Structure formats: C-alpha cells, structure tokens
C-alpha cells in the first residue's frame, strides 16, 4: 500500500506542507514537517498534491507507488 511521508533528510522546514494541507501535515518542535498519524494514506487528495508540488526541497514523498 502506498504511504505518504516526509523525507527528514531533505526537509528544511519551509512549512508549505502545513500551510497547504494542515489536516495532513504537522510541524514538529524543531520546525520540520511530518505526516499526521492516520493520514499516511491521504496522498491522492488535492491539498496534499499541492503540498507535494510546492515543497522546495521535494521532501514529501510517496512510498510504494
């Protein structure tokens, strides 16, 4: 099954993921994005697609697609 995730080795804390799809992404205490628990399967939603396109580091990825 495909799974949405933020590649922590690439994320630089731009927070566009959180701004574009706050229902799916969160920002941790150090400012890095992550996928909220239970939202890993939300990769095909429009807001999530926008976040993927707008992350300057290309850090938002889909595993297993």
Q: Binding of ligand F3S at residue 33 (CB under 6 A)?
A: yes
Q: Binding of ligand F3S at residue 57 (CB under 6 A)?
A: yes
Number of neighbouring beta carbons within 10 Å of residue 23: 12
Distance CA 55, CA 60 (A): 7
Going by C-alpha positions, the residue among 4, 9, 29 that lies closest to residue 17 is 4
Q: Binding of ligand F3S at residue 39 (CB under 6 A)?
A: no
Q: Binding of ligand F3S at residue 8 (CB under 6 A)?
A: no
Distance of closest approach, residue 38 Cβ to ligand F3S, in angstroms:
18
- In the block, tokens 């994320």 appear at 11
Q: Binding of ligand F3S at residue 35 (CB under 6 A)?
A: no
């Amino acid at each position: 099954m495909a799974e949405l995730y933020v590649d922590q080795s690439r994320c630089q804390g731009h927070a566009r993921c959180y701004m574009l799809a706050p229902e799916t992404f969160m920002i941790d205490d150090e400012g890095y994005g992550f996928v909220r628990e239970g939202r890993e399967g939300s990769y095909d939603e429009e807001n999530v697609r926008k976040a993927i396109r707008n992350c300057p580091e290309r850090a938002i990825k889909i595993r297993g697609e």
